[in-house]
Amino acid sequence: MNNDRYLTFALGKGRLANKTLELLEKTGITCEEMKDKNSRKLIFVNEELKLRFFLAKGPDVPTYVEYGAADIGVVGSDTIMEENRRVYEVLDLGFGKCRMCVCGPAQARELLKHHERIRVASKYPNIAKDYFFNKKHQTVDIIKLNGSVELGPIVGLSDVIVDIVETGSTLRENGLEVLEEICPLSARMIVNQVSMQMETERIRSLIQKLKPLCEA
Ligand SMILES: Nc1ncnc2c1ncn2[C@@H]1O[C@H](COP(=O)(O)OP(=O)(O)OP(=O)(O)O)[C@@H](O)[C@H]1O
Ligand SMILES: O=P(O)(O)OC[C@H]1O[C@H](OP(=O)(O)OP(=O)(O)O)[C@H](O)[C@@H]1O
């Protein structure tokens, strides 16, 4: 083990960021500078613990970790599935819980039931493809969107969507419903495959500290 080496964390921006920092703080890992919302600085260092942190767009987190630009990442399991990078997924952090679902207007149930060739809009084309082609053996047309995916069926772009459902209010307010559940989701810790060998002790000890703090 080489304790002089900095361990680098890539953390997903947005919804998961605060909870991630809170969790790390409970294990004694703090990075005060990172809490300054007005700062435009991208990378933060804790000299004492020999740690570095940066915030990145969720889908980029597994990329940084696969290439070793970060040793450790925290990101949603949706993003891990969608990006399909060569990383170790080591811990379910138990927050950021939601579900990946096929959603649409109630009448789209029939189209799904009869395995019609439907149009599916999603921010997650790989998850949608895997679900329809590999799990359901249903040929569909996938349309990639970058947000506000619920618009798809409302404006006639698609028959259904594959998207995240948390409280269900976005669906309700737009006259849509969950038609099929694909899988539950939550925030996960991922580790670079080489770092896991080179820094086994430091990473294992972090996992052991985090485990009891993770929500069930
Ligand atoms: N209601 C929710 N909507 C979206 N993601 C959620 C929700 N609840 C928990 N999550 C989790 O939080 C992660 C980050 O979501 P967030 O919306 O902040 O990022 P994003 O989807 O990359 O957003 P953007 O495209 O706006 O940058 C998701 O990948 C998912 O795992
Ligand atoms: O079930 P709910 O609690 O309503 O949450 C689900 C909604 O939140 C997310 O969208 P987000 O706010 O990230 O915006 P986006 O559609 O632009 O990605 C997700 O894509 C759903 O639209």
pTM: 0.95
Task: Average the pLDDT over 35-60 and give the result.
Answer: 90
Map tokens 């996992």 to a residue. 207
Task: Average the pLDDT over 173-179 and give the result.
Answer: 98
On average, the pLDDT of the chain sits at 95
Q: What is the pLDDT of residue 41?
A: 87
Domain 98-183 has CATH 3.40.190.10: yes
- What is the DSSP secondary-structure string of 60-114? GHHHHHHTTS-SEEEEEHHHHHHH--S-EEEEE---S-EEEEEEE-TTHHHHHHT
Ligand 1, atom 5, residue with closest C-alpha: 164
Domain boundaries, the chain: 7-96+186-213, 98-183
Domain 7-96+186-213 has CATH 3.30.830.10: no
Q: What is the pLDDT of residue 3?
A: 61
DSSP class of 203: H
User: How many whole angstroms from 85 Cα to the centroid of ligand 1?
Assistant: 19
Which of 20, 164, 183 has most ligand 1 atoms within 8 Å of CB, for mutation?
Answer: 164
Q: What is the pLDDT of residue 34?
A: 79
Strand order in the sheet with 141-144: 141-144, 119-122, 160-165, 98-104, 177-185
Task: Average the pLDDT over 32-50 and give the result.
Answer: 86
Question: Percentage helix, strand, coil, to 5, in the chain?
Answer: 35, 30, 35
Question: With pLDDT > 70 as the criterion, what percentage of the chain qualifies?
Answer: 99
- Write out pLDDT tens, residues 54-106: 999 999 999 999 999 999 999 999 999 999 999 999 999 999 999 999 999 99
- Write out pLDDT tens, residues 125-142: 999 999 999 999 999 999
Note whether 7-96+186-213 and 98-183 share their fold. Answer: yes
116 lines ligand 1 (CB under 6 A): no
Ligand nearest to the CA of 121: 2
